[in-house]
């Protein structure tokens, strides 16, 4: 019989390892730019009435010369969904509202408008079911076809190593999900997005966990290359304005449509960690 507590622990350990590796790489980029910026880590504890072990997480935040604001958060929480929210979550219901969730969430807003902003998240949840979800998407204020193609090629290769249908399915899912209906535009140039990769047994867990690990590792392999390619580019006031305008679109999506933001708020997560995805500065014109 599958021990889902052990599985949650294994996923948590990987997410923490990935967090460490990403933070180390991002700090190395800051050093290359002549900056001594480093991540500051803040631990937080979730509270839920009647729950002696609701969990919590660690928020990692850095503001540097290259990364104007980057957050890398890991959390592991457990408890019960509200009656209202339970019916909206895979495998949960008002009659069976219990859950555990562990995951890593990353958003980077860059100082130079030629460097693309980025989002990455992977997670493992158990309710009445158990599943993985996540993905990564690129959000350039000034798109470069070379960067977009390289980002997508990396995730296409990662998907191909697990299932020949994954890339096209998950690319379309990202295109559909990261869309701002009231603006009639996409948030960025896409990537992959997946959810509800269900784990009915140990073999399914191992298979979906391996894919989720590859998603995180692929992000770590490809995104720093794009940052280094663009971080010393000259930019104009018009370039900066374009960046700030697109940050406004990013904020609109995250506050109005993003399911991860809603999940964090509905489960009593740390407000600062949930809203770290918001840019440090934006404009609406």
Using CA atoms, how far apart are residues 33 and 262, in angstroms rounded to an integer? 36
Smallest CA-to-CA distance from 206 within 170, 247, 162, 241 is with: 162
**Full 3-state SS string of the chain:** CCCHHHHHHHHHHHHHHHHHHHHHHHHHHHHHCCCCCCCEEEEEECCCCCCCCCEEEEEEEECCCCEEEEEEEEEEEEEECCHHHHCCCCCCECCECEEEEEEEEEEEEECCCCCCEEEEEEEEEECCCEEEEEEEEEECCCCCHHHHHHHHHHHHHHHHCCCCCHHHHHHHHHHHHCEECCCCEECCCEEEEEEEEECCCHHHHHHHHHHHHHHHHHHHHHHHHHHHHHCCCCCCHHHHHHHHHHHHHHHHHHHHCCHHHHHHHHCCCCHHHHHHHCCCCCCCC
Residues linked to residue 137 through DSSP beta bridges, in sequence order:
119, 191
Residues catalogued as catalytic: 119
> Are 50 and 29 contacting, i.e. CB atoms less than 8 angstroms apart?
no
């Amino acid at each position: 019989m599958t021990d889902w507590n052990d599985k949650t622990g294994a996923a948590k350990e990987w997410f923490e390892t990935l967090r460490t590796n990403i933070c180390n790489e991002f700090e190395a980029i800051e050093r290359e730019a002549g900056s001594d910026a480093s991540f500051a880590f803040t631990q937080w504890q979730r509270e839920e009435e009647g729950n002696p072990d609701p969990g919590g997480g660690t928020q990692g935040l850095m503001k540097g010369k290259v990364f104007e604001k980057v957050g890398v958060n890991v959390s592991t929480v457990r408890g019960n969904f509200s009656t209202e929210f339970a019916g909206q979550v895979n495998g949960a219901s008002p009659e069976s509202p219990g859950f555990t969730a562990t995951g890593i969430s990353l958003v980077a807003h860059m100082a130079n408008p030629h460097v693309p902003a980025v989002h990455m998240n992977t997670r493992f949840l158990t309710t009445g079911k158990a599943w993985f979800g996540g993905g990564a998407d690129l959000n350039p204020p000034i798109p470069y076809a070379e960067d977009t193609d390289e980002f997508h090629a990396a995730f296409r290769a990662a998907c191909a190593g697990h299932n020949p249908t994954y890339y096209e399915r998950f690319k379309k899912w990202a295109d559909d999900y990261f869309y701002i209906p009231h603006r009639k535009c996409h948030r960025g140039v896409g990537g992959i997005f997946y959810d509800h990769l269900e784990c009915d047994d140990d073999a399914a867990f191992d298979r979906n966990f391996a894919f989720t690990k590859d998603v995180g590792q692929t992000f770590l392999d490809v995104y720093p290359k794009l940052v280094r390619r663009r971080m010393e580019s000259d930019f104009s006031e018009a370039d900066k304005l374009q960046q700030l305008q697109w940050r406004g679109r990013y904020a609109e999506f995250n506050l109005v449509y993003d399911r991860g933001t809603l999940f964090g708020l509905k489960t009593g997560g740390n407000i600062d960690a949930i809203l770290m995805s918001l840019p440090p500065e934006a404009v609406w014109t």
